[in-house]
Structure 1
Amino acid sequence: MTGVLASHQIEALLQRRAIRTDTPPVEGQVQPASLDLRLGTVAYRVRASFLAGVGRSVADRVAEFEMHRVDLAQGAVLEKGCVYVVPLMEALSLPADIHAIANAKSSTGRLDLLTRVITDGGTEFDRIAQGYDGPLYAEICPRSFSVLVRPGMRLNQIRFRRGRSVLDDAELAALHDAQTLVAGGPAVISEGLGFSVDLSPGPGGLVGWRAKPHTGVIDLDRIGVYDPAEFWDPLHSDRRQLVLDPGAFYILVSREAVHIPPGYAAEMAPYLAMVGEFRVHYAGFFDPGFGHAAAGGAGARGVLEVRCHEAPFVLEHGQTVGRLVYERMSELPRQLYGAGIASNYQGQGLKLSKHFRSADAPDG
């Protein structure tokens, strides 16, 4: 069947060596509709971001642009503002009818880590062609915080698809009527499900967080230990609007609560210039079951990772900032997001990454 492959189908690809790794997979690496990718043992500091290009290998391009290499074996700091290429532990020998798409994991995006997968012969980031046979690499550019990484850390995830089964607007409207895909606002359906930003003041008037420009290093293995005040400025507004500064990074939250039913997956559509000069959400996968277990399918709000580009931009409460594209699963996953897999962000409100002590505002 066409659609996104479920966890047990990904496990079958591992068994058939269509996904190759010399280091056995770890518990939790296979997610309901994706596979986490693990960092290898070395990072190459390169002069600039690049794509391999047709007929060229990533190793050739690294040799062309390498400045120095960093041994990750004992842990090493990737510096803010620098570009690194890290060979991943996983490689692919995809069947001719399966292609793949990668994206940053949620915690990666919430730290403003620009993290993309590149391949030999690749002409696009995060896109792996049908039948690709070769290694995988992560390009990592810390934008707001320097980070301490080690081999085996999982910053990216990859989905596998057989064909494509994206829901058109009529199918999406019918699914919403049957299973309520969005609560807290009207269902705006146009080439996907639109969502907007919530700038109504929460407890203490909090509407979001802005990354501080000069901070310490974040060790990605340390969970729930960092004081948000050392890395983030809280944002307050009683006017239900926010002026975004060029180059600044923000954590905000969607007004709507989103629901991904078990037989479907969703992806955040790419940045669209017509909604403003900013980018929303680096981590664009929503797994089957997101918002499904919370309050019997009442949905979970989407955290928005926002970076403003060329000019200051006024963001208003309720302004549409993106859309979710829904796609059918090839088969029903055996486990859902939030159901026994220690999902960090099920039922979330305004929430920083898992590395920080709780400073999230509850829904309401």
Structure 2
Amino acid sequence: MTGILPSQTLAQMIESGALAATDGFEPGQIQPASLDLRLGRTAYRLRASFLPGAGRTVEDRLNGDIVMHRIDLSEGAVLETGCVYLVPLAERLALPEDVSCAANPKSSTGRIDVFTRVITDGAQAFDAAPAGYQGPLYLEISPRTFSVLVRPGARLAQIRLRRGSPAPLKEITLGVDLTGGESGVIGYRARRHSGLIDLENLGGHDPADFWEPVPARGGRMVLDPDEFYILASAESASVAPDEAAEMAPIATEIGEFRAHYAGFFDPGFGWESAGGAGSRAVLEVRGRDVPFMLEHGQAAARLVYEALEAPADAVYGASGSHYQAQGLKLSKHFGGWG
């Protein structure tokens, strides 16, 4: 058996101790083909991002000179833009020798321009744990545009477990929609120097305080350097109940922009029988060094599909998932737009 582990297998791994957590797991952490990760009670403000390297633990590095100060998250704490933090996660792994792990920001995390990466002991790369890994998990957090208020238990990232090394089933390239449809809005541009986003206050932030609508202008737009945009794919996307997908950026040589931080698409996303017909992929786009003219339909990202080890017991959208059947849509922290 090879493939992405479905929800019922993740539950079995919790029962066996291959997936463990401080104070146990909470309802809703297990997704159709992924597991949400939760922040612990302490954050470390770092001088710089780092990888521990082979044979070294993250704790070894934290005991060095890379930590600027320690922050107690118990009553809530603000993580500020332009800073790098490291938070020990509530979950830890004791993976079987044939199971590896990949990590990604959750959709709502990427859509507010909070950059996250999972780190393990001995890591020489971010967002990955090798087959058989046993040890803690840590989350690097760097808010890029909006400062955020976080508390223990906040779910900013997720992991996906893979048995063996299955080859991808297919790849699909997605273009960007710059027509605007009936609304005439093709996207949203983040306002700099906005207020604080409370990650627990879902739907409670006025989008006008944080975003500027971008009107359609003849199927073109100019990406300004280092500005952050929310756009949508021109094509609809769907993931069958026996598949999972990950969104990956298009090669950087095609243009001066970076698309998509978050990338896991669980089985059932966009699937008609799960209420997802017509779902678009939301693109988190950042301009690079020079202004860049983006054209309607221009390639912006690609979906890489993999088979599940077995069909998941539940599919995305079965419990009213926030982003099922989405078009152009902001994160669930905002109410009123999209």
TM-score band by shorter chain is over 0.9
Q: Alpha-carbon deviations, 1:201-259, whole Å to 9, x = none?
A: 23442110011111111000001111111001111122211111111100000000001
- Give the Cα separation in 2 of the matches to 1:160 and 1:48: 28
Determine if contact 2:280/2:326 at 8 Å carries over to the other structure. yes
- Give runs of aligned pairs for residues 32-71 of structure 1, distance below 5 A: 32-64=32-64, 65-71=66-72
- Give the Cα separation in 2 of the matches to 1:104 and 1:126: 9
Partner SS for 1:229: helix
Identity of aligned residues (%): 56
Q: Find the partner of 1:288 among 267, 270, 273.
A: 267
Matching residue of 1:186: none
- Give runs of aligned pairs for residues 212-227 of structure 1, distance below 5 A: 212-227=191-206
Matching residue of 2:165: 164
Matching residue of 1:350: 328
Letter in 2 for 1:355: H
Matching residue of 2:148: 147
Determine if contact 1:166/1:326 at 8 Å carries over to the other structure. no
Number of residues of Structure 1 aligned to a counterpart in Structure 2:
337
Matching residue of 2:118: 117
Determine if contact 1:164/1:327 at 8 Å carries over to the other structure. no
Quote how far apart the aligned CAs of 1:26 are.
0.8
Quote how far apart the aligned CAs of 1:313 are.
1.0
Quote how far apart the aligned CAs of 1:23 are.
1.4
- Give the Cα separation in 2 of the matches to 1:296 and 1:250: 27
Letter in 1 for 2:324: Q
- Give the Cα separation in 2 of the matches to 1:138 and 1:337: 25
- Give the Cα separation in 1 of the matches to 2:178 and 2:152: 39
Tell me the TM-score normalized by structure 2. Answer: 0.97
Matching residue of 2:12: 12
Q: Alpha-carbon deviations, 1:112-158, whole Å to 9, x = none?
A: 00011001100111011011111000000000100000001100000
In structure 2, stretches of 5+ residues that fail to align are: none
- Give the Cα separation in 1 of the matches to 2:72 and 2:228: 29
- Give runs of aligned pairs for residues 202-217 of structure 1, distance below 5 A: 202-217=181-196
Quote how far apart the aligned CAs of 1:107 are.
0.2
Quote how far apart the aligned CAs of 1:296 are.
6.4
Alignment CA distance shift 1:25-1:355 (3 Å): same
Matching residue of 1:337: 316
Q: Alpha-carbon deviations, 1:76-119, whole Å to 9, x = none?
A: 00001100000000011111000000000000000000011001
- Give the Cα separation in 1 of the matches to 2:277 and 2:165: 27
- Give runs of aligned pairs for residues 1-364 of structure 1, distance below 5 A: 1-64=1-64, 65-168=66-169, 172=170, 192-293=171-272, 298-340=277-319, 342-360=320-338
Partner SS for 2:59: helix
